[in-house]
Amino acid sequence: MTCDDCSNAVLSVRGASVRFGDFQALRQVFLTVSPGERVALLGHNGAGKTTLFKSVLGFLGLEGGVIDVAGHRPGSREARLAVSYLPESVAFAKTLSGIEIMRFFARLKGIDPREALPLLERVGLADAGGRRVGAYSKGMRQRLGLAQALIGKPRLLLLDEPTSGLDPVSRREFYEIIDAVSAEGTAVLLSSHALTEVEGRTDRIAILSKGRLVADGPLPALAREARLPITVNIKAKEGRADSLHSRLGGVRANGKSVILTCQPEAKVDLLGQMAALGAEIDDFDITMPSLDDIYRHYSLDQEKGAQP
């Protein structure tokens, strides 16, 4: 990937490599995130998502490549002011209240605590702000974590699997807050294991596999590029399955059906052939590649061709 739009990017990762001893955790990763953009970083366990976050935060040094956060080196004062991080397992002092936690983090960031407290309302914790965090549910702790990350209006928000362990309603509400924050111009990079969860909630998908960035683009473009086959399940009229099978090919199933697969661009031709055999067909279903198929294609299949 080139970096034509890096000048506008809040996050610009160019050829970043990270090594732990003999282990190569990131391999020449290129990634940009622009203001207001929501990018999902997907990958299996150990793919390198947290390593990339830690590199952006300046906690890890690079073996090679360059990272800029709002035009500054990770870990510099300017970069630290521009970026906020919500770790996967957020832990707060259980005896403190939500309000006390927010005051504490505001002071750490050099922000007037009074500016931070309205964020509790933004994440739906206004009524619970005076309660001990030890009595919060997992969803409430995640919301508090997000409120803490939003202190000081960061230009870049890094969220490491922010919705793991949340129920579907809490997830939806969490993403609604992310939507609102990104609409105000904050760039969001969030990691997840699930393509289905981030579909429709992010503008771009980036997939890491064994430290390599193997896909980066809007989901429809990735689906097109993957060229995964479409499956057509044709139910034959009584006694016509053999005839359909011999003329269309494919695989016989349960005595009555013929299953065909074709590339997306061959779909119209196949439908034409089926129309000519309409008298022998009782019904049919077309199944497009699922989101999980697309994710598997990039995260697993491309590994096979990768260099060790």
Binding residues for ligand ATP, rule: CB under 6 A, are: 20, 23, 25, 43, 45-51
The 3-state secondary structure of 78-145, one letter per residue? HHHHHEEEECCCCCCCCCCEHHHHHHHHHHHCCCCHHHHCHHHHHCCCCCCCCCEHHHCCHHHHHHHH
Long-range contacts (CB closer than 8 Å, 24 or more residues apart) made by 112-115: 115/151
Minimum CB separation from ligand ATP for residue 160, in Å?
7
Which among 293, 288, 299, 292 is positioned nearest to 215, based on CA atoms? Answer: 299
Minimum CB separation from ligand ATP for residue 25, in Å?
4
Minimum CB separation from ligand ATP for residue 288, in Å?
28
Query: Measured between alpha carbons, how far is 28 from 30 in angstroms, rounded to an integer?
Result: 7
Minimum CB separation from ligand ATP for residue 192, in Å?
9
Which is closer to ligand ATP, CB of 48 or CB of 154? 48
Which is closer to ligand ATP, CB of 41 or CB of 123? 41
Which is closer to ligand ATP, CB of 19 or CB of 267? 19
Which is closer to ligand ATP, CB of 22 or CB of 265? 22
Which is closer to ligand ATP, CB of 25 or CB of 102? 25
Question: Quick check: 208 and 48 in contact, CB under 8 A?
Answer: yes
Minimum CB separation from ligand ATP for residue 19, in Å?
9
Chain position carrying tokens 């259980």: 94
Question: Quick check: 38 and 201 in contact, CB under 8 A?
Answer: yes
Which is closer to ligand ATP, CB of 52 or CB of 119? 52
Minimum CB separation from ligand ATP for residue 53, in Å?
8
